[in-house]
Structure 1
């Protein structure tokens, strides 16, 4: 047994032993979930570990003024009112959005949610000199909302947020502004490290126990403000298990009830054994980012970027994943109304790929070589090591391309995506392999607008395209849905034809559960509604 496997087994055993009394006492109403994260996401109200952190240690405990509507699995998730019962653009200033807060909502510690509490949280994220400033949470929130310019209280239950550009999609950014109790910070001696053990949000669950690097336990919030959406479970135990086979063994042995991303080759046997396998299309893409800045990169030439997109055996990779993914030929899926009509419809075409690379000066005598930073696991990463090894062999055999890897932790990879091309963490890296949501235009803004190159956003490649900028400007100012979609499609066409990414696959959000788990709704979203879930 490797050192890593021994450590994983020890941590799993300790976590399950720690929670054993609670779990046994609460059965059958304690749901045990094995996450892909290598650590328990942070618990202060802005979790790390990407969107898996938001899925399990974000929205169940904390809420934003705007929330995702995860009720209808037949369509991509849209927005619904959260701590704000409604919002609108200021008719006299389209850069300003006005949010009207619900009355009578309290945090888990009993203190009220009002405009002062909301502004306190915005100071926590966006004002470096505020006493409550939280650097880690601020970095995550600012990267997801690079256009927020100012905010203010209008009255006790109304706040205004102003952006630095007109942005029709701005509520899709507000959905990530989680609101935590100011009193919890005061009670913890104004120390965020201590808040981690006893935070207070407004969500349907509250954090009842946190063991760093081992587990987090959530308990039902019996006083949740939305009485129609009070949780059915008593408790949820969250366990980090980055290794797929460790998660699989835990599920089969009955140590957990639910695992994220089961090993694809185990899915048939899990089904045969009576486990529930959930898969479905959702807005997510697994790419490689191309670095287009600096001298230490071959990706300034669009022919190199297009050529590589014709060298990828996407169907072979989908087969490796046992059908738990689908080929990606753009940021959006071809079925999306905003996919558009790009000139390039990428497929495995080695002759075309080699020809484009040869035009750019790369051939058998001078092969294209570059280095990709990849992770061992992580939110939305599926099985990154075997997937990347497949791509490494595929690109060598199809187009004579030589790829090396720098393997790192998921959190380090996320840090790299927010780092400029000339910073030490990515100094010898020409490509990154983070997975990305593709849920709405606000995400497209963060990844592709030239204004949002690090540290202002996630445009790590340095993508800069005048036609994209013009189309996106029309999208930002559109008030008519048809005009919005037309502009969105034109913007997406440029992302495909002038590709800053190697488009590889969209995964199908696989998870495996005990047959005892009922009530789960497989929303077309990164996020999961744990409220209707229960155990038989």
Structure 2
């Protein structure tokens, strides 16, 4: 009997060996995100652009996609689920998209014009059965000018904007498409759909989701672009909001890749053989000022604070993982323009401007800023904000207090009107922002996009900016577009609705086993060509 049991055990072990060997050969990349929770897995993630980076674009796609193939210039656009697009002849408000043939969702159902209209109704039609309040709020805040849409035929859809918008394809990248069958499989309940998880069209598919713990992406071996089938078998995404926790997880081998390592740990990580990836890209870390109310309704106050900030010392404090910001765009950007103010650390000038506005040692400027403990693009928000707090007090006698909150609450605040309860009396906010293109500029600075229509939380209202941006929207050639862009940006610099602090360098650290990652000049990154040894 014992011999028989041993034989059966040996047979079972031999049978299991191929499966174990296969699992051992599986290429799995484990990433620690800065998010405090797993971004929503319903096909349109929350948690800002970090959610889009990891649980958006890898699995779900838009009609237009980011071109992340170049490293020597900011990312542009490439065809996605639409193989081409154009403005309708004689009507600059209508965009015609020709859909790609032969694309299927991960569940095998076809991608076509009906699926496009169904998804647009999900985000933009409150009366549709599939309306998604959370996904709709996020998408509408990014795609602020879509007026209507219609099916032309099975391979063609027309999207109409409420104003001429030369930049509209840059907004179209934020509309992600999910299989309508996913909604039916989830009992027509988006919360249940998120747990399935749902089907997209991307190079990875969502395969597992454990609330507040992890999400997994699996290679889509049948991806429609055969040249871009992933090298990895799986990606495991883990929320780790604390930088020290992410660092410990990397050093211990719990993860292979971490977002935003602590700056003071970077030299030691390099010495230990870890790869540190940084790169200049269009992204800015500011404070938003509420310009509709005192004290920030006085432009002198806003400009003064921009002279009071010691950006170079903050960059040094961050161990070189950022560069000074003196505008929404970088100073070497050809569209930076010619503003009157060229901000630098000049405490004497800042104090003088504050005195002209009525603030001095006897009546110091005091205000509250809402900040987050972590989050998408936030770098090291607690120590960075504490640095600014001390800097402003010592340089210009300004008293700053903080309302510390969670990242998604801060995002909610940016979509709220002045005085909303979520602000808890805050007069400034500290979200970060991409500065990649004019479609982002308009939703942060144009008067039409004050909350809830966009992210112009400061209520910035500058007629010269509006005039320049209108010319940009109607431009039909690159020269006119760029000239208008530069004029509009110069008005943003001089109007100073933000405290321009730094542009981060998108730092991340990874094990030497991670191969093939090349950082694009974008907040979003291409995981398809990443491999692990």
Alpha-carbon offset, residue 424 of structure 1: 1.4
Alpha-carbon offset, residue 422 of structure 1: 2.5
Structure 1 residue 434 and structure 2 residue 431: aligned? yes
Secondary structure, aligned partner of 1:196:
helix
Alpha-carbon offset, residue 521 of structure 1: 1.6
Q: Is the 8 A contact 1:23 1:30 kept in 2?
A: no
Structure-to-structure mapping, 1:135-146, within 5 angstroms = 135-146=133-144
Deviations along 1:78-97, one digit per CA (max 9) or x if unpaired, are 00000000000001211000
Structure-to-structure mapping, 1:96-175, within 5 angstroms = 96-175=94-173
Q: CA RMSD in A?
A: 1.2
What 5-or-longer segments of structure 1 have no aligned partner? 1-20
User: CA separation of 1:492/1:100 partners in 2, compared to 1, >3 Å: closer, same or farther?
Assistant: same
- Which residue in the other structure is 2:263 paired with? 264
**What TM-score do the two structures reach when normalised by structure 1?**
0.95
- Which residue in the other structure is 1:14 paired with? none
- Which residue in the other structure is 1:456 paired with? 453
Structure-to-structure mapping, 1:193-342, within 5 angstroms = 193-197=191-195, 198-294=197-293, 297-342=294-339
Indicate which of 489, 503, 518 corresponds to 2:515: 518
**In structure 2, what is the Cα distance between the partners aligned to 1:406 and 1:121?**
37
Q: Is the 8 A contact 2:26 2:233 kept in 1?
A: no
Q: Is the 8 A contact 1:259 1:511 kept in 2?
A: yes
Larger radius of gyration: 2
Secondary structure, aligned partner of 1:256:
coil
Indicate which of 45, 53, 64 corresponds to 2:51: 53
Secondary structure, aligned partner of 2:308:
coil
**In structure 1, what is the Cα distance between the partners aligned to 2:44 and 2:479?**
35
User: CA separation of 1:22/1:299 partners in 2, compared to 1, >3 Å: closer, same or farther?
Assistant: farther
Deviations along 1:438-474, one digit per CA (max 9) or x if unpaired, are 0000000000000100000000000000000000001
For this pair of structures, how many residues does the alignment match? 514
Q: Is the 8 A contact 1:290 1:501 kept in 2?
A: yes
Q: Is the 8 A contact 1:144 1:173 kept in 2?
A: yes
**In structure 2, what is the Cα distance between the partners aligned to 1:383 and 1:247?**
13
Secondary structure, aligned partner of 2:250:
helix
Secondary structure, aligned partner of 2:349:
helix
User: CA separation of 1:254/1:477 partners in 2, compared to 1, >3 Å: closer, same or farther?
Assistant: same
**In structure 1, what is the Cα distance between the partners aligned to 2:21 and 2:499?**
44
Secondary structure, aligned partner of 2:138:
helix
- Which residue in the other structure is 1:472 paired with? 469
Alpha-carbon offset, residue 146 of structure 1: 1.1
Structure 1 residue 380 and structure 2 residue 377: aligned? yes
Structure 1 residue 409 and structure 2 residue 435: aligned? no
Deviations along 1:261-294, one digit per CA (max 9) or x if unpaired, are 0000000000000100000001100000000124
Deviations along 1:358-378, one digit per CA (max 9) or x if unpaired, are 000000000000000000000
Q: Which segments of structure 1 move beyond 2 Å, counting only runs of 4 or more?
A: 21-28
**In structure 2, what is the Cα distance between the partners aligned to 1:23 and 1:280?**
38
Q: Is the 8 A contact 2:370 2:402 kept in 1?
A: yes
Indicate which of 360, 366, 369 corresponds to 2:366: 369
